[in-house]
Amino acid sequence: MYLVPPFIFLILLYEVETAFRNYGDRYILTILTLCPICAKEIIHAAWCQECANTYFKKNFINWTSGNQRIDEIIKDAQINSKIPEDFIEWIPYEQFENIEKVCHGGFGTIYSGYWTQGPLNMISNEFKRTGETHVALKSGISSEHLEE
């Protein structure tokens, strides 16, 4: 059996910033992960909500869907995203390539293509695009209920 000297264990606890949290009648040891950029607690290893908010707010002026209501929905989703899969963004049509029709149905047409820039991720303490990504695109039949 290998025993860790108490002082090493204490140093490890200090460096990792542990916290006990009460869950009913049980106590669970959780390890807090800190953002390498802003040093605030994060709940997802590759996503800091605080830094994401700063990034998104700085970039609000760099895009528009052309519809104020859609822009507000996208901005709200970005500001409230807690994990990378939570946010949405406006992607200009010019960023898609090799678009091919897959099928057509009663509610629109489905296409397959490639998003040249790819999704946004936090990589090496920076927000970066992952590069070309295969995507499905859908065009709707009508936009008459878009404002509702």
Q: Write down the domain spans for the chain.
A: 92-148
Where residue 29 falls (left for φ over 0; alpha for ψ -120 to 50; beta otherwise) is: beta
Most confident of the following: 2-11, 18-27, 136-145: 136-145
Q: Are 122 and 130 in contact (CB under 8 A)?
A: no
Task: Report pLDDT for 10.
Answer: 42
Evaluate if residue 20 carries a pLDDT over 50.
no
Nearest residue to 102 via CA among 138, 133, 132, 134: 138
Q: What's the mean pLDDT in 19-42?
A: 65
Task: Report pLDDT for 92.
Answer: 92
Confidence of residue 139 (pLDDT cuts 50, 70, 90): confident
Q: What's the mean pLDDT in 93-115?
A: 91
Q: What's the mean pLDDT in 71-88?
A: 87
Which is more confident, 41 or 58?
Answer: 58
Evaluate if residue 13 carries a pLDDT over 80.
no
